[in-house]
Structures are given as structure tokens and as C-alpha cells.
Amino acid sequence: MRTCIAVLFLFLATTAHGQGYIVEPATQPDFICEVYNLGSKDPAKSRLSACLSIFHSDLQFVPVAGGYEANFRIAVRLTKGAGELAASQETSERLHFDTLAETRLPEKYSFYYFELEAAPGEYQVVCAVTDSARGTTATRTLTKKLRNFSSQASALEISEILVADQVMRDGANGLIIQPGLYQNTASPSREVFLHFEIFHHDTTQPLILRQTILNRRKEKIIDQQRPWPGRQPRVQFALPVWTDMLPYGDYEIVLEARSGKIQKTASTTLRVVWDGIPQTGIHLGQAIQTALCLAEGEARQLLAAALTSPTAEQHRALAAFWEARDPSPGTEINEAMNAFYQRVAIANEKFGGSREGWQTDRGQTFLKFGAPDKIVLHPRSIASRPYQVWHYHRLHRSFKFVDEEGVGDFELAGSSED
């Protein structure tokens, strides 16, 4: 019997938003698209807000007089049924930087905001970004239900909640909101905003608004109630939340609107993470545990001791650990730290199962050494269980992982020098 051997060459993306394994450099503009349903001034329609964040490092910049320039086109379309167009917006954009290095800075992106209106109903939202230099288009398609907020639906309605980093005034539409790059994630000691709308059609009744924030054990961390003095039928809110009141962790935010005997609620989530690595959504404790994979000697002892220390001491210990490994001290970005926690996110995605991916043997190897230069896959045969060999040519080392139980949990069976 012939044994089939598959050979994979894997490369690790270096962009800050963590693409994982890719075969070649990005050929399409990468972006994040989030959509939210709010109310319209037209009672027969509902409003869709589309928020796009486009990463500079994935756009094609070309030399021009005085620097480098990227040109691209953004289109947002609202369709229903068999592709029937209900509403659309398009715009052409240009970015200019003086140096090529500025076009490749990690975590740099531009934010764009669109509003479309259509009758209530189920829709497909198609967001597309076309890179003019490459002639390539990246597309995101989402399903969204636009609700009926008119008085015909109910005397009281509350929209969904958007956790926003910034809220800006706009003369025509009232508020423009900018969500965080990593949805519903915030770092400590900062202010985020809960953006939502309440439709209070029976203004003869007072409006009572209650805000509750619960931790993972469903304990109330914040429970506030107050009457709303205005008597407008449509009210836009941007309630501030100070995260220094919330320890690191996951929370549920519940908003309750009450008018007379009618009560409506909306909820969302919020994750408060260590502010050194918000892009991975990792907790401070896990950030220390994963860093222990790299630590040796005294540095390892200090990190291990910090796990049982107060939060402030944990933060100091981890910051000191990464400061000592910063390849460019004095700059805003610690490239070594960012690359490592990108590996953690990728390991959790690729190798997770009964345990988190970073805790597995393959995950630990990936954290220490990065992506292998070559992986050779050996499927199950009469003579052996499935196994794979990771080759690190630059390190002159190989690692063998065997799936003893046949369930995809590959354990380290040995390593050797190439």
C-alpha cells in the first residue's frame, strides 16, 4: 500500500488584525463591516447604519508626487429577495502618506460611515471595497432585519445597542458613531458610549430608563434608573460608561425603557481587556499564562508570582516582561508583543478542542517558534496512527506530533535536529 504524504508550506501573516495562515500576501483590501438598525424620520422606513474600518496595510499604495497614494471605492448595497436593490451608497476615497513606511504601520485604519433607509423587512447588506491599483474587490455580505419603529408597531420601542469608541455631532443626522475596531471590546480607564434610540410615541406618559451591567456570575455591577425629562417621540442616546468601574472580564449590558405599563429591553455585551493587547481580546491573566511559554529563569519566576498578585502588580510584571523584549524601545508599538499575541489568537483558532489551542502541544510549539517552514502530514495507515512533522529549517529542528486517539488531538512525540 502506498502512503500518501501531503506537504504544506505555511506562512504567518504579520498584519496586526491577525489573518492567521495565508498562502500569499493579501491581494484584496481587508476591512471590517458592522451594521446596525436605527430609526428613520420617515415613519414608513427604517435606517441602516454601516460602519467600515479599512486597514491601510492591505491597500495598494503607488508612488506619486510627494509620497504614496491609495485610491479605492466603497459601496454599500441593501438588497432583498432575488437581489432586488432597495438602497445603496457609493463613494471614492483617497489616502496619501509622505513615506512608504507610513502605509505599512500595523493597526492603522480609516473609518467610514454610511446610512441607508428602506421599508422594514429582511435584507442582505453587501459591503464592497475595490482597490483601484490592483483592480480587486473584497466583499462582506450580512443578513439584517430592519425593524418597524413607528407608532403603528408600538407606543414604545428601543433599538439595538452599539458600543462606540467615539460619538460625533452631525448637523443633518444628529449623531455619527464610531464603533471600536474590535467589536464590544474596551480597555480599562477609558470611556465608551452606548448608542441607541428610543421611540416614545405616547409622550403623555413619562419615560423611565434603567441601565444594568452584570458580570459573568450575573451579579449587578451597575444598576441605575432615571426619568428622561424630554417628551420627544424619538430620542438618540449616547450614554457614557467608564470602564475603570469594571474589572477585567465579560459583561452584559441591559437597557430597559418603561412608559406607563409598556416595557421594552435591549442588551449587548462588553469585554474589558488589558489595554496592552486589545486587538486579541485577551484577558490579563491569560496574557501572563501564555507569556510563560517564552519566559525563563528569573523572568519566569516573576511572571508566575504575578498570577496570584493584585491586578496592578500583574500589569506591571507583564509590562516589564515585554519591555525587556521590545525590539524598538521608545516607539509606540512593541512588535514582539504584538506578534506573540497574534500567535495566541491563531493557536486558539487552529488547534483548539477540549483545551484552548495555546495549551496544546502544537499550540505551545507555535507560540515559541512561530509558523513552521514546512509541515508534512501522514494520514492513518495500517502501521501507524496519523501524525505530522513540523520542520523549522531556520532553527534546524523538527517536531513530530501524533494523534493517538484519532480525534485530532496531536501530542508531541519527539523533536530532532535537522
Closest Cα partner for 128 from 33, 34, 27? 33
* Residues in the chain, total: 418
For residue 13, give the DSSP letter. -
Q: Which CATH number fits domain 27-148: 1.10.10.10, 2.60.40.10, 3.40.50.2300, 3.30.930.10?
A: 2.60.40.10
For residue range 255-303, list pLDDT tens digits in order: 999 999 999 999 999 987 665 554 455 677 888 999 999 999 999 999 9
Q: What's the rounded Cα separation, in Å, for the pair 196 and 265?
A: 11
Q: What's the rounded Cα separation, in Å, for the pair 130 and 299?
A: 47
Q: Cβ of 168: how many Cβ atoms within 10 Å?
A: 11
For residue range 100-134, list pLDDT tens digits in order: 888 877 567 898 999 999 999 999 999 999 999 99
Show the cell assigned to 353: 478542542
Q: Which of 61-65, 222-226, 378-382 has the lowest mean pLDDT?
A: 378-382
- How much of the chain exceeds pLDDT 90, in percent? 42
The mean predicted confidence, pLDDT, of the chain is: 83
Q: Which of 27-31, 326-330, 367-371 has the lowest mean pLDDT?
A: 27-31
Q: Using CB atoms within 10 A of its CB, is residue 4 exposed (0-12), middle (13-18) or buried (19+)?
A: exposed
pLDDT at 118: 96
For residue range 8-43, list pLDDT tens digits in order: 333 333 333 332 222 233 456 778 888 999 999 898
pLDDT at 166: 78
pTM: 0.61
Asked if residue 220 lies in contact with residue 119, where contact means CB atoms within 8 angstroms, the answer is no
Q: Which of 66-75, 89-98, 268-277, 370-379 has the lowest mean pLDDT?
A: 268-277
Architecture per CATH, 149-272: Distorted Sandwich (2.70)
Ordered by start, the domain boundaries in the chain are: 27-148, 149-272
Tell me the mean pLDDT in the region 385-391.
91
**Residue 310 pLDDT more than 60?**
yes
Tell me the mean pLDDT in the region 221-237.
86
For residue range 160-177, list pLDDT tens digits in order: 998 888 777 765 556 767
